[in-house]
Structure formats: structure tokens, C-alpha cells
């Protein structure tokens, strides 16, 4: 495929550039600065002194004031050496470089008349970053490794940081201002400075989950910006996740981590085959029932599978080392063969959301890898190469097609609807040119792919469905055998991204950065489901009114920012410009209008919809951040910014139809031609490609403080407010049809008609590892008010007589005689052509249209209310078509008075505690660590009424979980180390109610069925399998070997 060629071309280009420049990798957003001053023992500046970073080729000399600056320092811990002839040489160890921050290291050199003496001291890490103007939390490689035995996935590591939600979707600060309510679609991911996203998507429904996975063993530094993003970052309203991956070294290193998940029941309640969930449907004591066979396949219908006897495995490994003298590599790979909770199409695979064990991917063969090639700089040109490669699969199909909890519990492995294949790739190359010691530019080229396809889809020779009726057992309840079902999804999300950044420390107090970015996207989603042999639904997001052609928009941006560092004040000011060029023509008016108009009311007739050019979407966004260091241990910071985001491309580009009959042979040639497929679809469905959309916008303000109040205890407290406007949600279009003399409701169009406000407090308290222990406490409390369809939510279109009289705009019948010979036969194409109105029809329909228009204008139309609807006006870009909008006086969504948005949690937090015994405790008691992770989430809100009271919002039960890991490390040989660990997940076997069955908990204080329930008395707790969140206590064993 063409996209495969792009992936390998980018990778090959990166490889060639690496060995032509043999340089080390440096990418914007992934490197920091080290600065300082060198003076003598009298405090006088020493110009011309040398400063080098040991183990690298990076260094500089001091200027006239003794100041020095080293740019482009990769995150990590270094030794910094200062020297000058006639003075002692001093090396400071444990100097930490952090991406996007400045580390200050000063030296005082003592004059010597004898042979120069080398002095080694330990650098004092700055307890807080004085130049931090954002709310940013950072975990380095040592932090990630400390929790790695019990927190395996990078997404789970992210959840330990303040502001990041604990529901597995990496939402930031709870209140989601995205079009889909999917959380992390508002978060932009960067891996080594490269955006890890193809297009804006939702995580639910037919748009599938955006691939954002990086193996935790490959993480060098992980940072989350929850507020105050600089102008460099765009297309996100909630925050930024920035992941810097590890590099290779001059020696070979590797690791292999194996985790064993023992067999056992992994859900609440009884074994599913004995559970009250099925009431009296399971009849294990009835020999006729247990012995029943399917007459078609001959297989026994009611046969248990030992789903609790499956052992799970997880393997992750790394390998790094030199390639040639001046270059090295790092690579990691991960396989997950975990056991499914319930009987599934395959019993091994993994969960998209492992913390809550949901989003099962039945994929016994899956792999995710990351790789990176780096070199040692020999010139002013530096190149970095890296990427991610992921493959997995699962089974597709709804009811009757594959094994799953419910009526399909007895089906064999596999699916009657085919298998899903996931293909995820990222490849990038980064070129850096150092113009002067204080000025450089970076160019980055990347290719990202997040694709999904379904293979072995059952279709006939014309591509139409072959969905069978579901065969049930003799009792008519359980599915007897997998049925053939035509249901599939094709998703193609690809992006070629180019980014150019220019950075310069123009003066001691001004670091200016400016850049340009262009993203060339391909967007295609085809979702089709045949409910029966005669009924199907089809949705497509792609180029308008094509089925297999991607939409190819171009997103571009430009930004400039100046980080001004003065004594006692750091000011970061910037501005950003974003633009969308549509890359295609779009429907005139709205697609929802055309979906019910007689001219274009079917999948095949939609080809007659007129298309027009669309103006580019563009917006400016100012950003301001201020940091005021009060002392060397405390700062206060402020930030204000406007953040824009393109709505989900699934909602922008989708359109669809519903059909209740198979395609008809319009040209009587005995077959279904491509022009005839879908010609019976005549019912509206979701609609997109409305070219008057705007960027979703969030305006944010926050105040925070970072305080090293004692020892190495550091607190961070932030108070924030963000207001989301022009959020995407659907409305409806209505077409007033002159023939029917009534408004016809079209498909639901997505538009900027919702808002959301979030106010909150964010707390982080941490202590780095010292004196044998460390901890990290994170907590968020927020109040969210939101409303959907809060602005205009209905658009009405009314034609006038001039529009009707054009002839080509309006017609009510079609002809199958496409060649005009007066006959319909195989010489015709199978399509339909318009039959133009007669003069009498033009006069009649035009009169009706004008009558309707005048009734609205003079206020006599019974269904027009000037207090709720705008004035009707002729459209500027569509002569003869008039429109008005209806505003929603009762917005959908969550009542602001109750202070919460029902899908979000008002509070959440976590505690991580690590104890690590020193090595000198001896071989038995030394190098033992115990890690505890505690998670807490307040319940979601739900609106209902208690007896005799009006409805109001109630918060659901709190969810908590405690995990514990015991780790013992052994030094086998000089460079070989082994680690054994023992995990207990849900240590206290905490069982919390799911939000939905919590109504009895609110009303009666019950966490189980009402004791007077007839169903409960007869069968027991029929909701035991899904009544409670999380999972029971679980034991895991693991071993890791590294060298």
C-alpha cells in the first residue's frame, strides 16, 4: 500500500541521515538547558573557563561575565566539569537536566600555583524549577523503574500524576471539553518531540481508539502539562503529554521482564455458567439440555469452557548498544497474552484500559515495539531517528457472531463477522543545525499511522451483506452456533507531519523560539452493519459522497514565544496561529438538508448534492505565563491562555444512511452494478461536513505555587479555571419541502453549540528517594458545569420561488433512463437522473415556497416563534435559499447548579509510597523494595428523584483500590542483575458499586439487591457479574534479568 511505502521511506531516510551525520538526537520539547557562572574565590568572573558535560561532546566556554550556557541537553543526570589553567578543576555530579527547563550550576574555582587538582562535589539539585511557568509534572527513568513491577503500562504511570484521570483514558483535569466526551481527545501526545496523533478522534463509537502507547521500559522522561501550555503546543484544550525515550550507549545493555498472571476467576460473583445472572436459563441437571446438539454443525450447544483456567503472560524486553563507533541504538518490545475476565472470542489478549479491565482485545499475537538510533555529534549538524511499531488483532461482530457474556456464552472461538487487524506506526527523523552556540534550528519529518481493518467479511458478489438469522437452542434463548454477520469497520488515520523550529538565546534574559508546522492528513472510516439480509446501516467519514476515498485536509500552524528570565521574574509570552485547509469541496448549506430532500434522498442520489469551495478555518491564540521565584525554594506562577482544537474529524466528515431493502436492479441487467449499491437507502442518519464550523476553544487561567518546605519534600498547589466554548455537539437541519409543504428533518449535524466550565484545585506532594523511601501524592478536586445544545441547535432552510425556478435545484422525481432513449435496460448505467419540473410544477411549488416565506416574515407561521428563533434571512452564498436558527432554551446535559458534569468525577487522586532498603544491608535484606499504590475516585453524578422529591443530581459511590508490590534484587555478576517481584492487586479486595446500579445505594443505603425483590428471592443476585467496579484481589509473579 502507499502508506506502507511512506512509512519505510521515512524510516530509510532517517537511517541514511543518521549515518551520514552520525549525531546525537535532539528534538524540541525534549531537551533542556544548563547555565551558570564561574567565578574565583574572590567572586570575580572568570572569562574563558571551560565547561563540559562528561560522557558527551557537549561543552562551552564562559563569556566576559563568567557566564556560560549549554543548549540541547537531553534529559538525564550528568557530571559537569569546569576547568581553567591556573585553577583547580571541579566536577559536579548528579546534575539533572530536565526537558524544557533551565538547570543552574555555578562554580567557584580556587587558584593554584601547583599542579592542577581535581575536586569532585555533588551538585545540589534545585528543589523547584524557578523558570517553570506551566503546571507541569515530571517522572524520570528512575521514578518509572521504581513503580514498574506494579504499574506496567505508560498510561498507568501517567495516572499517578496530578491532574490525570484514573479511568484509563488519560483525560486531564476531569472536565472534558471535547466533542465526544472521550477525555483524552483533548490531550496531545508527543514522543521525542513528534506529535503522536494522526487526526483528532474520539475514543468511542466508530472512530476507534487513538493509538498512544509507548512501552514503559523505553521511557527516559515522562512529563504532563496540565495547564499553561506554551504557544508551541496546539490542537489541544486539556493538556500535553511529552514522552522522551531512552537512548543507547557505548556498551551493550538489555533486560527481559516476564510476568505470570495465575489462572483463576477474575470477576466478582460466581462462575458465569453457575451465576444467578442467567436466572433459570442454565439447566446443568437436565440431560436433554446438556446433551443438545446443533443440527447444522453437530457441535454440542451447551458446553462450558474453562475460562478461569487460563494463565496470563506478559513479556517486555529491551536491548541497546553501539552500532558503529559513533552511533548507538535502543529498542524495546512488549507482548501481552493476559487472560480474559469472561468467555471471549479468544481467551488471551489485552485490555485497552487495564486498570478497570475493559476494552478487551482478543489478540493472542500482538506486539508493540519502539526503537531509537542516536549518534555522537562531530559537527554542527545533529540527527535523531526513532519510531514505534505495533500490531494486534481481535474479533469483530455483534450479537450471535462471537462468544461473549449473554446469550452468546456457548459459542466457540472465532467470529462469524471476521477478524479486526490493527496497524500502528510512527517513524521520524529530526535534523538539528547549530548555527552558533546560542542559536539553532530543528526540522522534523514524521509519519504516523493508526489503521484498523476487518478481514474475512462475509459479503455477496456485489459487496452486500449476508447476515443470517440467529439460531437459538431448543429453549429459544442461547445462541446455538455462530451466525454469519456482515458487520465491519475500516479506519485509516494517517499523517505526514513537518515541523520547523528556530531557537535563539538572543540575550542573557531572552530565549526566543518560533516555528511552523504542517500536517497532511488522510481520514477514512467506513462502518457498515447489516442487521438482516434486507436492513443495513452505513456511515462513512471521508471525502464527501465517496465510500473509499479519504478526506485529506491540511492543518498548519505558526507560533512565536519569548521566555524572558530576569532576577526574580520569568515571563513566557507567545502567540499561535492555527489553520485548516479543507482539501476538498463540501456540501452547499448542510448535509442534513440534503439527506431528506427529494432530489438527493438516498446513498446513490447523494452524488447529485452540489459541492462548493469552503473557506479555510483559522484562529489566533495568545499565551502568557509568569513565574516569580520568592526564594530559592519557593515560586509563584500564573498563566493565561486561549487554546484551540479542531473538532473530531469523525464528526466533521461523517455521513450515513439506513436502508431497509437490498439494492435494486435499476437497469434490468440481472446484476447489481456499482452505481446501484445502496439505492434503497432512503432514511436519514448522522451528517457531517458542515463548512461553517469553528475551532473548539478553551480559555484558561490558573495560579499556582511550588514550595520546597522542608528537606526534599516538595508541594505544588494550583487553582485553575477554564471555560470551554464552541464545543462540538449535534443539532438538526430541517428542509421545508414545497411539495410536501412541511419541514422534513434531516440527519443530525454536528456544530459548535455547547459549553463547559471547569473550576478546580490541583495538589501534588512528593519526596524523591532518600533515606530509604519516597512518595508521591496527587489529588484533584473540580466543579464542572456544562450544557450541550446550549446555543442554536436547529437550522431551518426555506427556498423561495427563484430557487425553485432554476430547474436544476429542485425536482421531485428521477428517471432510470440515463441515456435518454426512452427505455430502461442494460444500456443504462443503473444510476438515476433528475426529471426537471414542468412549468406548471415550477409555478405551483414556487408559489407554495413564497407563501411559507411570507408567513415566517410576517409572523403568521404557527411553528415560528421570534422569541426562540432568529430572523429568517437569505443566505449570502446561496441565492434563493433562506434560513433561520432555533435556539435551545432547555440545553441538554448537566445542570450547572449542581456543579458537575455527569460523565466526570468531582475528585480523584492517588498515593505512591516506595520503601527501598540500602544495598549495604547485605545480600538478604539489601535491595528490597516495597511499593504501594492507592487510587481514589469520587463517584460520577446521576440525576434522579427520591420518592416525593423533585429530581436532583447525586454523586455515586467512591471507588478505591490499593496495589502492593514486593521486589527483591540480586547482583549475579558484575553487570548482570536479577529481580524477583510479587504483586497483589486490590490488596484489600475492595468492592465498589458501579454508577448505574447505585440508585438503591442512594435511596436505601444498599450495595446489593433489595431483600424484598422477587427476582432476588427466587434466583439470587442477578446483577452480580456487573454490579461492582474493578476486580477481586489478584496475585502476580514476575522476574526480570538485566545486564
pLDDT-based confidence at residue 125 (cuts at 50, 70, 90): low
DSSP helix/strand/coil, 650: helix
Average pLDDT, the chain: 84
pLDDT band at residue 781, thresholds of 50, 70 and 90?
Answer: very high
Res. 21 pLDDT band, cuts 50 70 90: very low
Question: What count of other Cβ atoms lies within 10 Å of the Cβ of residue 205?
Answer: 16
Highest-confidence segment of 32-41, 176-185, 241-250, 259-268 = 259-268
C-alpha cell at 148: 514498574
Q: What is the pLDDT of residues 597-619, one digit of tens each?
A: 888 888 888 888 888 898 899 99
Average pLDDT for residues 95-109, to the nearest whole number? 85
Please determine, for residue 176, whether its predicted confidence score (pLDDT) is greater than 80. Answer: no
pLDDT for residue 563 is more than 50 = yes
Q: Are 962 and 933 in contact (CB under 8 A)?
A: yes
What does the pLDDT look like over 941-988, one tens digit per residue? Answer: 777 777 788 877 777 888 999 999 999 999 888 889 999 999 999 999
Q: How many CB atoms lie within 10 A of CB 1016?
A: 16
Q: 525 and 207 in contact (C-beta within 8 Å)?
A: yes
This prediction's pTM: 0.86
Confidence of residue 323 (pLDDT cuts 50, 70, 90): confident
What is the share, in percent, of the chain residues with pLDDT greater than 90?
39
Query: Are the CB atoms for 157 and 147 separated by under 8 Å?
Result: yes
- Which residues does 1012 contact at the CB level (< 8 Å), separation at least 6? none
| pLDDT (0 to 100) of residue 121 | 57
What is the reported pLDDT for 951?
Answer: 79
Distance CA 767, CA 774 (A): 5
For strand 792-799 and strand 713-737, is the pairing parallel, antiparallel, or unpaired? parallel
Q: What is the pLDDT of residue 684?
A: 66
For cell 469552503, what's the residue?
A: 614
What is the tens place of the pLDDT at every residue in 274-302?
A: 999 999 999 999 999 999 999 888 889 99
In whole angstroms, give the CA distance from residue 898 to residue 225. 28
The per-type count for the chain, helices as H runs and strands as E runs, is 10, 52
Integer Cα distance of 844 and 846 in angstroms: 5
Dihedral pair phi/psi, residue 855, rounded to 5°: -65, -40
Name residue 1034's beta-bridge partners.
985
Greater confidence (334 vs 183) lies with 334
Domains and CATH numbers, the chain: 32-73+75-122 (2.60.40.1120), 796-887 (no CATH)
Q: What percentage of residues in the chain have a pLDDT greater than 70?
A: 89
C-alpha cell at 82: 569546569
Which residue from 83, 79, 77 is spatially nearest to 48, judged by alpha carbons? 83
Helix (H, G, I), strand (E, B) or coil at 277: helix
Kindly report, residue by residue over 71-93, the tens digit of the pLDDT. 888 888 888 888 887 788 888 88
The whole-number pLDDT of residue 318 equals: 96
The pLDDT assigned to 365 comes to 83
Give per-residue pLDDT as tens, 507-539: 888 999 999 999 999 989 888 888 888 888 888
Do residues 787 and 891 touch, judged by C-beta distance below 8 A? yes
Amino acid at each position: 500500500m502507499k502508506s506502507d511505502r511512506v512509512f519505510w521511506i521515512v524510516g530509510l531516510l532517517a537511517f541514511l541521515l543518521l549515518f551520514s551525520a552520525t549525531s546525537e538526537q535532539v528534538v524540541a520539547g525534549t531537551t533542556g538547558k544548563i547555565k551558570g557562572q564561574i567565578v574565583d574565590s574572590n567572586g570575580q568572573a572568570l572569562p574563558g573557563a571551560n565547561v563540559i558535560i562528561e560522557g558527551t561532546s557537549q561543552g562551552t566556554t564562559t563569556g566576559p561575565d563568567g557566564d556560560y550556557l549549554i543548549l540541547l541537553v537531553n534529559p538525564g543526570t550528568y557530571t559537569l566539569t569546569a576547568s581553567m589553567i591556573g585553577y583547580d578543576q571541579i566536577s559536579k555530579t548528579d546534575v539533572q537536566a530536565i526537558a524544557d527547563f533551565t538547570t543552574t550550576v555555578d562554580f567557584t574555582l580556587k587558584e593554584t600555583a601547583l599542579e592542577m587538582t581535581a575536586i569532585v562535589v555533588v551538585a545540589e539539585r534545585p528543589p523547584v524549577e524557578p523558570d517553570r511557568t506551566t503546571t507541569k509534572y515530571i517522572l524520570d527513568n528512575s521514578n518509572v523503574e521504581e513503580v514498574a513491577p506494579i504499574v506496567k503500562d505508560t498510561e498507568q504511570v501517567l495516572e499517578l500524576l496530578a491532574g490525570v484521570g484514573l479511568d484509563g483514558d488519560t483525560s486531564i483535569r476531569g472536565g472534558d471539553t471535547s466533542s465526544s466526551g472521550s477525555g483524552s481527545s483533548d490531550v496531545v501526545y508527543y514522543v521525542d518531540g513528534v506529535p503522536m496523533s494522526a487526526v483528532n478522534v474520539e475514543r468511542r463509537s466508530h472512530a476507534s481508539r487513538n493509538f498512544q502507547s509507548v512501552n514503559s521500559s523505553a521511557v527516559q522522561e515522562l512529563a504532563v502539562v496540565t495547564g499553561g501550555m506554551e504557544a508551541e503546543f496546539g490542537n489541544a484544550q486539556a493538556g500535553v503529554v511529552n514522552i522522551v525515550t531512552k537512548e543507547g550507549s557505548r556498551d551493550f545493555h538489555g533486560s527481559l521482564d516476564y510476568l505470570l498472571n495465575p489462572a483463576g476467576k477474575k470477576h466478582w460473583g460466581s462462575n458465569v455458567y453457575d451465576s444467578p445472572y442467567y436466572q433459570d436459563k442454565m439447566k446443568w441437571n437436565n440431560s436433554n439440555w446438556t446433551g443438545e446438539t446443533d443440527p447444522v454443525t453437530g457441535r454440542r450447544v451447551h458446553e462450558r469452557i474453562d475460562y478461569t483456567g487460563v494463565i496470563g503472560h506478559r513479556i517486555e524486553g529491551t536491548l541497546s548498544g553501539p552500532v558503529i563507533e559513533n552511533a548507538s541504538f535502543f529498542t524495546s518490545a512488549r507482548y501481552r497474552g493476559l487472560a480474559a475476565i469472561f468467555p471471549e472470542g479468544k481467551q488471551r489478549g489485552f485490555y485497552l484500559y487495564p486498570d478497570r479491565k475493559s476494552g478487551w482485545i482478543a489478540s493472542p499475537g500482538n506486539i508493540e515495539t519502539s526503537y531509537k538510533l542516536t549518534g555522537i555529534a562531530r559537527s554542527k549538524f545533529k540527527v535523531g531517528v526513532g519510531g514505534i511499531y505495533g500490531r494486534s488483532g481481535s474479533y469483530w461482530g455483534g450479537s450471535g457472531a462471537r462468544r461473549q457474556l449473554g446469550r452468546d456464552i456457548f459459542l466457540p472461538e472465532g467470529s462469524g463477522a471476521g477478524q479486526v487487524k490493527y496497524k500502528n506506526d510512527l517513524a521520524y527523523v529530526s535534523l538539528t543545525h547549530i548555527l552558533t552556540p546560542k542559536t539553532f534550528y530543528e526540522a522534523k519529518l514524521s509519519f504516523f499511522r493508526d489503521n484498523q481493518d476487518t478481514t474475512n467479511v462475509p459479503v455477496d458478489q456485489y459487496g452486500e451483506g449476508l447476515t443470517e438469522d440467529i439460531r437459538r437452542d431448543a429453549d429459544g434463548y442461547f445462541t446455538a452456533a455462530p451466525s454469519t454477520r456482515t458487520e465491519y469497520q475500516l479506519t485509516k488515520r494517517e499523517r505526514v507531519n513537518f515541523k520547523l523550529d528556530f531557537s535563539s538565546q538572543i540575550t542573557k534574559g531572552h530565549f526566543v523560539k518560533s516555528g511552523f508546522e504542517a500536517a497532511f492528513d488522510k481520514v477514512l472510516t467506513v462502518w457498515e452493519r447489516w442487521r438482516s439480509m434486507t436492513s443495513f446501516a452505513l456511515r462513512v467519514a471521508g471525502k464527501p459522497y465517496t465510500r473509499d476515498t479519504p478526506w485529506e485536509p491540511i492543518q498548519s500552524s505558526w507560533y512565536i514565544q519569548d521566555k524572558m528570565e530576569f532576577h526574580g521574574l520569568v515571563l513566557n509570552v507567545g502567540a499561535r496561529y492555527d489553520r485548516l485547509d479543507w482539501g476538498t469541496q463540501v456540501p452547499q448549506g448542510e448535509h442534513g438538508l440534503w439527506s431528506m430532500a427529494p432530489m438527493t434522498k438516498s446513498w446513490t442520489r447523494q452524488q447529485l448534492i452540489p459541492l462548493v469551495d469552503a473557506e479555510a478555518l483559522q484562529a489566533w491564540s495568545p499565551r502568557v505565563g509568569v513565574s516569580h521565584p520568592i526564594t530559592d525554594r519557593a515560586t509563584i506562577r500564573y498563566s493565561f491562555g486561549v487554546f484551540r482544537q479542531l473538532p473530531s474529524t469523525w464528526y466533521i466528515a461523517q455521513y450515513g444512511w439506513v436502508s431497509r431493502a437490498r439494492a435494486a436492479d435499476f437497469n434490468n441487467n440481472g446484476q447489481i452494478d456499482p452505481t446501484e449499491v445502496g439505492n434503497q437507502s432512503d432514511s436519514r442518519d448522522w451528517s457531517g461536513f458542515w463548512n461553517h464550523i469553528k475551532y473548539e476553544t478553551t480559555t484558561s487561567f490558573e495560579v499556582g505555587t511550588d514550595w520546597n518546605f522542608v528537606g526534599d519534600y516538595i508541594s505544588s498547589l494550583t487553582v485553575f479555571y477554564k471555560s470551554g466554548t464552541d464545543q462540538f455537539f449535534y443539532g438538526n437541519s430541517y428542509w421545508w419541502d414545497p411539495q410536501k409543504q412541511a419541514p422534513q428533518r434531516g440527519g443530525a449535524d454536528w456544530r459548535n453549540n455547547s459549553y463547559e466550565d471547569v473550576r478546580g484545585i490541583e495538589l501534588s506532594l512528593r519526596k524523591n528517594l532518600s533515606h530509604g523511601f519516597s512518595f508521591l501524592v496527587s489529588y484533584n478536586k473540580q466543579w464542572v458545569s456544562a450544557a450541550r445544545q446550549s446555543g442554536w441547535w436547529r437550522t431551518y432552510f426555506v427556498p423561495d420561488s427563484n430557487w425553485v425556478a432554476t430547474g436544476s435545484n429542485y425536482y421531485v422525481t428521477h428517471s432510470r433512463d440515463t441515456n435518454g432513449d426512452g427505455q430502461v435496460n442494460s444500456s443504462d448505467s443503473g444510476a438515476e437522473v433528475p426529471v426537471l419540473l414542468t412549468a406548471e410544477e415550477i409555478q405551483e411549488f414556487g408559489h407554495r415556497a413564497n407563501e411559507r416565506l411570507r408567513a415566517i416574515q410576517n409572523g403568521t407561521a404557527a411553528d415560528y416563534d421570534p422569541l426562540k428563533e432568529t430572523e429568517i434571512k437569505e443566505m449570502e452564498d446561496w441565492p434563493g435559499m433562506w434560513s433561520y436558527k432555533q435556539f435551545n432554551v432547555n440545553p441538554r446535559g448537566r445542570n450547572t447548579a449542581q456543579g458537575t458534569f455527569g460523565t466526570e468525577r468531582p475528585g480523584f487522586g492517588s498515593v505512591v509510597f516506595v520503601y527501598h532498603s540500602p544495598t549495604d544491608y547485605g545480600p538478604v535484606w539489601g535491595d528490597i523494595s516495597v511499593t504501594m499504590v492507592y487510587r481514589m475516585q469520587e463517584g460520577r453524578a446521576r440525576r434522579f428523584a427520591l420518592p416525593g422529591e423533585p429530581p436532583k443530581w447525586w454523586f455515586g459511590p467512591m471507588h478505591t483500590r490499593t496495589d502492593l508490590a514486593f521486589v527483591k534484587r540480586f547482583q549475579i555478576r558484575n553487570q548482570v542483575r536479577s529481580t524477583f517481584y510479587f504483586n497483589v492487586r486490590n490488596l484489600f479486595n475492595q468492592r465498589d458499586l458501579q454508577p448505574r446500579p447505585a440508585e438503591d445505594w442512594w435511596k436505601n443505603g444498599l450495595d446489593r439487591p433489595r431483600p424484598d425483590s422477587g427476582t432476588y428471592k427466587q434466583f439470587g443476585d442477578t446483577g452480580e457479574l456487573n454490579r461492582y467496579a474493578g476486580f477481586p484481589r489478584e496475585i502476580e509473579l514476575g522476574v526480570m534479568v538485566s545486564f
